[in-house]
Amino acid sequence: MNNKLKIGIIGLGGIGYSAHMKAFNEIENCEIAALCDIDPSKFERFRKEYGFNNFYTDYKSMLKKEALDAVVVGTSNDTHKDISIFALESGVAVLCEKPVSRNKNEAFEIQKVIDETSKKFMVGQCFRFRNQTEKIQEIIREDKLGEIYYCHGSYIRQRGIPGYGTWFTDKKRAGGGVILDLGVHLIDYVWFLLGKPAFKTVSAYTYGGIGKRLASGEMIGFKGSAWPPTYSGLEKNIFDVEEMASIFIRFKNNVAFHLEVAWAMNIDKASSGGAIFGSKGSVTLNPVIYTHEDKDNMVSEELPFKLEPSHRNQARKFIQFLNGEIDNPAPIDDALKIMHVLDAVYESARQKKEISINTK
């Protein structure tokens, strides 16, 4: 008997192709049964590379015709809510890409339908599924850091605006820029590693001037970028989101967290990473370096871990969650809190002042 879970993937762009198709194709206990994108030109590489042939241009038809157990929503941010709700109401479980929505209100609407339908819903916060996560959690659990008081994180590209001139840089469709694209990863990850403490305040600064200059059509350093600007007709002048943000978060337990994210910055090279600092030691996020006191000296040791694609780990966790083997590793309640914080981040930048948050 074939009791593999049947998965449909909606959105066959960057993440659908490079992460979800590959991940679900590689793991056990599931099979990819149908694929969907409004743009049929996206089908070709799935035909060629995977010999796949069951495509739809309308996710509603796909959900009506196919007996799917779950769908992956890997479309532009403006569509996450409607597609997720339609899937849940069709009796199908959902793995929805981050950010779960453009704002807190949309996340709240999704949460309501999850409650009404009792269908399973997980958010693609893929950092949580990195192999080093358990290692970092173990260091914290064993009290090797002492009293944790500060964290920092950064995700900075020199020239790397994804999908410049498409939905990515259109605030109406994306909900925001680098904060919703990269900031959401770091904020969720550090909060998760800290054991999800209550948020207290946020203060943020944002900037979007480099992206705006690109709208003039000059390359201003983007020629060799891994994300070259994709001018697509009339959309090419749209850049009304932030490309850089500096964010300071206080938690109610008196831990502070500073992060910097940028799609474009006039910096010598790209970098990403972070660390959690305690009274007895610290641990970095990637690679995992544990630094601590050893009598009169300071010692740093790099802790090895198996490096596997986080999207494959995520897909495996999703299947385990659907099969009832584990609890939801990235539930909507967490995503709703994070969207609440991100709304406050934008509000703080707009008002140029610290904002209180009460996510309960």
**Footprint on this chain of ligand NAD (rule: CB under 6 A):** 10-16, 36-39, 42, 59, 74-77, 79, 97-98, 124, 126, 162-163, 166, 181
How is residue 264 annotated by DSSP? B
Give min distance, CB of 152 to ligand NAD, in A.
21
Give min distance, CB of 98 to ligand NAD, in A.
5
Residue closer to ligand NAD (CB basis): 146 or 309: 309
Q: Are 5 and 30 in contact (CB under 8 A)?
A: yes
Residue closer to ligand NAD (CB basis): 79 or 225: 79
Q: Report the distance separating Cα 288 and Cα 303, nearest Å.
A: 6
Q: Is 8 helix (H, G, I), strand (E, B) or coil?
A: strand
Q: Report the distance separating Cα 16 and Cα 97, nearest Å.
A: 10
Name the phi and psi angles at 32, rounded to 5.
-80, 115
In whole angstroms, how far apart are CA 241 and each of 87, 229, 245, 351?
29, 15, 11, 16
Residue closer to ligand NAD (CB basis): 10 or 148: 10
Give min distance, CB of 128 to ligand NAD, in A.
11
Q: Which residues contact 276 (CB under 8 A, 6 or more apart)?
A: 136, 140, 145, 148, 150, 151, 190, 193, 194, 282, 283, 285
Residue closer to ligand NAD (CB basis): 15 or 322: 15
Residue closer to ligand NAD (CB basis): 42 or 81: 42
Q: DSSP letter string over 319-339? A: HHHHTTSS--SS-HHHHHHHH
Give min distance, CB of 140 to ligand NAD, in A.
24
Residue closer to ligand NAD (CB basis): 16 or 281: 16
Q: Report the distance separating Cα 187 and Cα 45, nearest Å.
A: 34
Give min distance, CB of 168 to ligand NAD, in A.
7
Residue closer to ligand NAD (CB basis): 10 or 255: 10
**Strand partners of residue 202:** 249, 355
Give min distance, CB of 170 to ligand NAD, in A.
11
Q: Give residue number: closest CB to ligand NAD.
A: 13
Give min distance, CB of 12 to ligand NAD, in A.
5
